[in-house]
Structure 1
Amino acid sequence: MAFGAMLLMVMSSCDRYLDVSPDMRTDVDSPEKVGELLATAYPQANYIPFTETFSDNAGDKGSGLAPLTNSDPYHFLDIGDIYQDSPAYYWNASYAAIAAANHALEAIAAAGDNKAYLPYKGEAMVARAYAHFMLVNLFAQPYQAFSAASLPGIPYVTTVEKVVIGKYERHTVAYVYEQIEKDLSEGLPLIEDRIYTSPKYHFTKAAAHAFASRFYLFKREYDKALHHANAVFGNKRLTDRLRQVNSPAYRSQQYRELEAQYTRADNPANLLLVEVPTIWGRNYASYRYGFTTDILNEMFDKTNVTGGYWGYNIYGSELYYNIPKFREHFVRQSLNAETGIPYNIIPLFSTEEVLFNRAEANAMLGNYEQALTDLNDYASTRIIYSSGTPVYIPEIHEITRNKLLSFYNTYNVQQALINCILDFKRVNFLFEGQRWFDIIRHNIGVKHKTSEGRILVLGPNDPMRLFQIPQEAQGSGIELNPR
């Protein structure tokens, strides 16, 4: 239908970087059409390939697939590729998503005081906030209250362009965060889950609160992060909504079943999903720079604070170790074509993240017992006694203050809790790219070792921690990141 063609034109705007061609102005004259448009207001791109490979979750296997999107980030270089799975592609797709949100908001404003549009306005504002949030944390320095007002951020775009190529400026990180907070705080109360036929692919109330908990954690406003984490499921314990990784039912599933189950919309752990063009799911186990034997031993074979072992099954041989998380959906160019576009479903927000956000906020607020409760609830779904006795035993595995202080060799309970949270998150989000955001947020250095023995270091203040803005964006007046 004609409206579907218009949606394709919105997506093609990624080639314009920040701009939307004037000829895309198809009538969006009903709440239903606005809703269809907002299906494209989520970045249709994958950040995992470059964030995961930049992190300490990657090592050098010595052989394997090594395209630029895999080799450049491992060597802490600007990624010499502008196509799918690259930072440039993510930048473009994010601004295309923002353009869709702005187009929807323009149509809503034109409809006047029509309450039927309000839930869509809420979704558009929160989606616009999310895309800008991801951009500012990938292409600018992380938020620090004392420096954010002087650090270059990214353009925060709130209007539909009337020209093909407009001029933009890099607002400060502080300004970008202010605008994100404005969109988020205004949009979230308007969201109504009833309007969605596929709610897991839209910002529901739960997903929006999950995003807000992440946003305020990054902003270090821990009371607000805690409030929004509690709002996701009504201040309840989250055990039943976590992936039951150590359960007999989960551990008995075959590889392909696990692959599909991880990103299913009916999986209660998934709060927001997006389908994106990517070869990550096809190749992540085969990439040269990825999950090595040394990293496997570091993360899974050593004891953790519980005294037990992780209940994950690791698949593959030495060059292909992986945990199944992504099933590819291949869209052929035509019915009998051999070529097409591979897609993966990516979990953008999960119950596990909400639990970790709440635990970290509680730890930073001094609510140590509440943080311990969440960590023990999480451990109860992940930890086993041994491969021969794959069960969680509370009397043995319960995390206590004394265990934390002893395991992390510190007298500081708060720091021990944060260390535990970061360790658990590293395992939980393996192959999902989330580790990178903890690295930049906590100023963690990264070391990569090449098969030739070279040690590559990415320190906390290294300018390469900021992904490079696409060269073509200079045509819109945007300064590149320093090198």
Structure 2
Amino acid sequence: MKRLNIIYIVIISIVFSSCNDFLDETPDNRAQVDSKEKIQKLLVSAYPTGNYALACELSSDNIYDTGESNPNTSRILEQYANWEDITEEDNEDLETIWSGAYGAIANSNLALSAIEEIGEEDLLAEKGEALITRAFSHFLLVNIFCKNYNSTTSGKDLGIPYMEKSETTLDPKYERGTVREVYEKINADIEAALPLISDDIYEVGLYHFTRKAAYAFAARFNLYYENWQKAYDYATIVLGDNPVGQLRDWVAMGELPRSPSPVTNAYISDASDLLALPFNSGMGLYFGAYYRGSRYSHTNSLAYAETLFAGLPWSPEGISSAYYNFRPFVYSGTNIDKTLSYKIPYLFEYTDAVAGIGYYKTVMIPFHYDETLLVRAEAAIMLENYSNAVSDLNNWAGNFFIADSETTLEDIDNFYADLTYSSEEVPTSKKVLQPGFSVVSGTQENLIQYVLQCRRILTIHEGLRWFDVKRYGIEIVRYQVQANGGMKVIDVLTKDDPRRALQIPMDVITAGIEPNPRN
């Protein structure tokens, strides 16, 4: 199910530099990209093909280990959930994420080289797409395989190789640089791309970085980069004058048949989606009504303690499915305990229908209006523009929930001031925040707690929680359900645990790239 393309020169040269027979072929023996049409076709392949969401979601605090008696697992799922270095080969493994991103980068760079050779006058939009896709793949890589950006320490923290040209040598040597250097280069690519992007060159805009998708990415990037004003401004460009009118129609989602296929298909084709990425992945099984992968899952007890059914400022005692326009799906039985918000389709592509074999597939939505609204709310909080932040949070919640979710700054302050910080003994939705930037205790922290909780609910199963955990120095307690129904703490991922940077693939380490440190 994993395929390498000769165009992925950077990956092949890193990982397979010892394969002499293969490398007897010069890397430039490839199709000539010498026209506008060919460049546009090449850019279809400038998007990452390895699904990062499963690794991130299982690494986060959005799962419990339902116990050793549950046989519905695999070694790679256990390794992700327990923050072990990945040794298994699978469509969801880190080598697939790494090579899928660098393969996309190689295509972006090849397109840029061709544009430079042909002349940019009639290819500015294509140049914009090539730059923004190159930035996006590097953004994923640095946030998965490195520590989070931190203005204090990122000048020393290991980054990832930033590829700015197509590789033409047989055995190139790469340096990882620092996280700060990677962020600076991502920023440069984004800023160069934004004025160039035009939706006019896309036949199906949802699978490309349209102008709004690019600005949504720029907003999230600048939020992670601690550029609060830019994050706010770029999110505003996406949202326009009527943010509520741009959000997902959760009422319509709730009126669909209560079945995985119609609701997930609707989720990935909604007008609020800004970018869609197809992957070879079993995500739809792991976060669907299936036993597959059910040992490590978002359980009902987790939902009540911390996520979908935990209290909010406008309902301090907790909420239930009845509060949702699009009600969560709850499955409970022997060896299955899943509370789900359906959004990830389980698709199957048959290669042999008679034999019943083929590929697991899914489609992820990395950017959408709802999440961009929460990006703006968080940026407003950091800018101490609390009235705008509360307005955005109320607009989001008022569209997402059925119940009266209107709240005030005073309500938010009082709720989180009274809520106990999460501990090993009593998990709650209020986490101790230890970011590298300053969050003032009291009103600012309480608002941040609320926006993080809103994002956790909105993006459940999508992997984004892992990045918030890293950015805010949130410690994760990994709980395991015991046979008697009790909970056991099996590990704690502390603020400075080096495992927060997932280990780069073993083949890449073997080829000479410096590994992430481990205790």
| DSSP 3-state at the match of 2:279 | strand
Which residue of structure 1 lines up, in the alignment, with residue 117 of structure 2?
110
Of Structure 1 and Structure 2, the greater helix share is in 1
Amino acid corresponding to residue 110 of structure 1 in structure 2? E
Offset of residue 324 of structure 1: 1.7
Residues 62-211 of structure 1 mapped to structure 2, 5 A cutoff: 62=67, 63-112=70-119, 114-211=120-217
- Quote how far apart the aligned CAs of 1:460 are: 0.8
Paired residues of 1:422 and 1:438 also in contact (CA < 8 A): yes
Verify: 1:314 aligned to 2:318, yes or no. no
Distance 1:208 1:362 in 2: 20
| Residues 274-285 of structure 1 aligned to structure 2 (within 5 Å) | 274-285=277-288
Q: Are 1:48 and 2:78 counterparts? A: no
Q: Give the 3-state SS of the residue equivalent to 2:194 in structure 1.
A: helix
1:340 to 341, 358, 366: 358
Q: CA deviation at 1:65?
A: 2.0
- Decide whether the 8 Å contact of 2:15 with 2:507 is kept in 1: no
CA shift, 1:11, in A, is: 5.8
Q: In structure 2, do the counterparts of structure 1 residues 13 and 220 end up closer, same or farther at CA, with 3 Å as the change threshold?
A: closer
Report Cα offsets for 1:273-297 as digits up to 9, x if no partner.
Answer: 1101101112334321111121121
1:334 deviates by 4.5
Distance 1:323 1:227 in 2: 30
Any unmatched runs of 5+ in structure 2?
17-22, 419-440, 483-487
Q: Among residues 203, 212, 219, which one is paired with 1:213 in the alignment?
A: 219
- Partners of 2:373 and 2:500 lie apart in 1 by 27
SS across alignment from 2:331: coil
Q: Is the 8 A contact 1:215 1:225 kept in 2?
A: yes
Deviation at 1:423, TM superposition (A): 0.4
Q: Could you tell me which amino acid in structure 2 is paired with residue 406 of structure 1? A: N
Contact 1:49 1:69 in 2 (8 A): no
Q: Which residue of 2 aligns with 1:33?
A: 38
In structure 2, the residue matched to 1:444 is 474
Give me the whole-angstrom Cα distance separating, in 2, the residues matched to 1:223 and 1:18. 40
What is the CA-CA distance between 1:418 and the residue it aligns to? Answer: 0.7
Contact 2:236–2:376 at 8 Å: present in 1 too? yes
Other-structure match for 1:401 = 409
Residue 324 (structure 1) aligned with residue 321 (structure 2): no
* 1:356 alignment partner in structure 2: 374
Corresponding letter in the other structure for 2:373: L
Measure, in 2, the Cα distance between the counterparts of 1:176 and 1:65: 39
With the length of structure 2 as denominator, give the TM-score of the two structures: 0.85
Is 2:261 aligned against 1:254? no
CA distance in 1, matches of 2:140, 2:253: 35
CA shift at 1:422, angstroms? 0.3
Moved more, 123-132 or 224-233: 224-233
Q: Give yes or no for the alignment of 1:429 onto 2:459.
A: yes
Alpha-carbon distance in structure 1 between the residues aligned to 2:267 and 2:252:
16
Question: Residues 254 and 327 of structure 2 are in contact (CA less than 8 Å); yes or no, is this contact kept in structure 1?
Answer: no
Partners in 2 of 1:232 and 1:18 — Cα distance? 39
- The AA in structure 2 aligned to 1:377 is N
* Aligned-residue offset at 1:346: 0.7
Deviation at 1:253, TM superposition (A): 3.4
Deviation at 1:336, TM superposition (A): 4.4
For the Cα contact (< 8 Å) 1:68–1:79, is it kept in 2?
no
| Structure 1 unaligned blocks of 5 or more | 1-5, 386-392
Query: Is the contact between residue 375 and residue 421 of structure 1 (CA under 8 Å) also seen in structure 2?
Result: yes
**2:53, 2:451 → 1: CA distance?**
21
SS state of the match for residue 116, structure 1?
Answer: coil
Q: Given that residues 140 and 466 in structure 1 are in contact (C-alpha distance below 8 angstroms), is that contact kept between their aligned partners in structure 2?
A: yes
Output the CA distance in 2 between the equivalents of 1:70 and 1:405. Answer: 38
Secondary structure class of the residue paired with 2:7: helix
Q: Which amino acid aligns with 1:172?
A: T
CA contact (8 A) 1:314 1:322 kept: yes
Shift of 1:145: 1.2
Mean Cα displacement is larger for which, 336-345 or 223-232? 336-345
Partner of 1:478: 513
Contact 2:10 2:166 in 1 (8 A): no
Tell me how far 1:31 sits from its aligned partner. 1.1
Aligned to 1:388: none
Q: Deviations over 1:99-153 (max 9, x none)?
A: 11011111111102x4221111110001001101111111111111122111110
**Residue matched to 1:369:** 387
> In structure 1, what is the equivalent of residue 430 of structure 2?
none
How far has the Cα of 1:210 moved from its partner? 0.5
Q: Distance in 2 between matches of 1:367 and 1:140?
A: 31
Report the secondary structure of 1:167's partner residue: coil
Q: How many residue pairs were aligned?
A: 463
Identity of aligned residues (%): 33
- Aligned to 1:327, the other structure's residue is in SS state coil
Q: 1:152 touches 1:172 (CA, 8 Å); kept in 2? A: yes
Counterpart of 1:275 in 2: which secondary structure?
strand
| Residue type at the aligned position of 1:424 | C
Distance 1:7 1:237 in 2: 44
Alignment RMSD (CA, Å): 2.2
Name the CA shift for 1:415/1:251 in 2 (closer, same or farther; >3 Å): farther
Decide which of 483, 495, 512 is 1:460's aligned counterpart.
495
Report if aligned partners of 1:17, 1:96 keep a CA contact under 8 Å in 2: no
Which stretch shifts more, 399-408 or 315-324?
Answer: 315-324
Alpha-carbon separation, structure 1, partners of 2:5 and 2:516? 31
Q: Conserved in 2, the CA contact under 8 Å of 1:61 and 1:289?
A: yes
Q: Mark the CA change 1:7 to 1:481 in structure 2 (over 3 Å): closer, same or farther.
A: closer
Separation (CA, whole Å) in 2 of partners of 1:341 and 1:250: 30
| Cα deviation code 1:370-396 (max 9, x no counterpart) | 1111100111112233xxxxxxx3xxx
**Structure 1 position 243 matched with structure 2 position 248:** yes
- 1-side partners of 2:447 and 2:500: how far apart? 26
Aligned-residue offset at 1:230: 0.8
Which segment is superposed worse, 449-458 or 167-176? Answer: 449-458
Task: Give the TM-score normalised by the residue count of structure 1.
Answer: 0.91
Q: Alpha-carbon deviation of 1:249?
A: 5.9
Match of 2:274? 271
